[in-house]
Structure 1
């Protein structure tokens, strides 16, 4: 039966990889190509001139930089906040701790679209629109990350933490020296998933940003695509360039991404 599983896996891999390969091949074709048969998509001549034109004649590189900046900051700050919140809910006894956990859990029941209007009004009142702060701060509250990390913190024996306290270790020492190293895989997985979510986020940047110098990729790409609606090569070049960072991220951290997806279903 192994050959059957391998055959099915190969077919599924081909189905997922074919659009990506087609995009990359078309992106190095010359403009104005004539397509009569399917094989014409893959026939030479090839050229990288369109890549040079897009990179030097548009703001795509600036938008990539914006996306990287926002995604990295959102990743670091979200995981930091979620780790602190998850640790408090898991290991620090305080009044109404169970109630606070259910408040965080209730955040999963509210779709993000339902909070867009009040979020926009708050951002407007705080003068956060058209700024990097407006792109970053609203994304920091992640109930999923808090609940997943709390689940991992719950798995750390309390006896271990109490032994550190007996030796004179305080709460911060326990958090940084004991808890975080033991939950490093969970932190890495949540960081990668948060990065991908921020990188692909469209709705909030679309509502909060009007200055094209602050556009992220999900916002900037449609504006460029609308200019080349009758051409195949330039849209493929734009998408190929935009896909490179996330492809590199996936190839490098494939195991952590898969582990993070599986962990996101853990119940607190």
Structure 2
């Protein structure tokens, strides 16, 4: 390693460390405020550690109920996206049928349509079939996203065809090959897609705001603004509610950070 390479490595690490600290400051500030009684200064007057804000938030808002709704929607959405995207991707990657390339291009073209442009047609459709205002209306629009199909197809295209041919010689059909061979080999892609899908469903705000009116079905992204609007002149309680809402996402990141990094660097079937 040359002197220039070492210098570049040290500079890149310092820059990465500074960026990490920069992005951690809001999270640390949120946690400090959540453990500080309302009206008590954090800097200059000493730090007063207390769980009073958490007790007050949990007694005044159904945080766990909102989080439960978000968890149900996110888990079911993620499971269905992984199932349908992997099946569709396998069909586009390995099954040749008339119009497959055109159909795949149509799926990809859907990624160019802004989500806001589909809100009104989606609202009218859900209303006409009687699903508006239910958890199902939050799940169905997200289960057939073209991004998941694209990611899985790119991965499947990189898998050796010899595996499929050997399975066909043994008498395996399309479904068995997909289930017994392609799915186990595509765990990195499935993990990355699942994590991003879960976080996206958990953080979704615009569509739940339009489709949900019953408080019993409110997700955490809808409940938090409603709670915060009652404490516009305060800081500790809204920050405490945000800290509670951020716990699941932070846990997912800490537990699956390797898969998240692989998903960001993921290109086709090279990441195995």
Q: Same fold (TM over 0.5)?
A: yes
Distance in 2 of aligned mates of 1:120 and 1:258: 35
Runs of 4+ in 1 over 4 A off after TM superposition: none
Q: TM-score w.r.t. structure 1 length?
A: 0.94
| 1:200-215 alignment, distance < 5 Å | 200-215=203-218
* Structure 1: gaps (5+ residues): none
Distance in 2 of aligned mates of 1:147 and 1:118: 24
Distance in 1 of aligned mates of 2:144 and 2:151: 13
Counterpart in the other structure of 1:241 = 244
- What is the aligned-residue RMSD (CA, Å)? 1.5
Q: Residue 104 of structure 1: SS of its match in structure 2?
A: helix
Asked if 1:227 is matched to 2:230, the reply is yes
Counterpart in the other structure of 1:173 = 176
Displacement of 1:115 in angstroms is 0.8
Contact 2:38 / 2:236 at 8 angstroms: preserved in 1? Answer: yes
Distance in 2 of aligned mates of 1:159 and 1:31: 65
Displacement of 1:46 in angstroms is 1.8
Distance in 2 of aligned mates of 1:266 and 1:160: 17
Displacement of 1:49 in angstroms is 1.2
Asked if 1:196 is matched to 2:203, the reply is no
**Larger displacement relative to structure 2 (26-35 or 92-101):** 26-35
Contact 2:78 / 2:197 at 8 angstroms: preserved in 1? Answer: yes
Counterpart in the other structure of 2:28 = 21
Counterpart in the other structure of 1:259 = 262
Asked if 1:94 is matched to 2:97, the reply is yes
Distance in 2 of aligned mates of 1:260 and 1:152: 11
Q: Residue 230 of structure 1: SS of its match in structure 2?
A: coil
Counterpart in the other structure of 1:154 = 157
Match of 2:136 among 125, 130, 133: 133
Distance in 2 of aligned mates of 1:94 and 1:10: 51
Match of 1:110 among 94, 109, 113: 113
Deviations 1:78-128 (A, max 9, x none): 111100100000011111111111111111111111111100000000111
Counterpart in the other structure of 1:33 = 40
* Structure 2: gaps (5+ residues): 1-6
Distance in 2 of aligned mates of 1:100 and 1:5: 43
- Aligned length, in residue pairs: 262
Counterpart in the other structure of 2:19 = 12
Displacement of 1:159 in angstroms is 2.5
Distance in 1 of aligned mates of 2:249 and 2:44: 28
Counterpart in the other structure of 2:4 = none
Q: TM-score w.r.t. structure 2 length?
A: 0.92
Displacement of 1:266 in angstroms is 5.8
Distance in 2 of aligned mates of 1:89 and 1:190: 18
Displacement of 1:34 in angstroms is 4.8
Counterpart in the other structure of 2:67 = 64
Distance in 1 of aligned mates of 2:12 and 2:109: 40
Asked if 1:80 is matched to 2:79, the reply is no
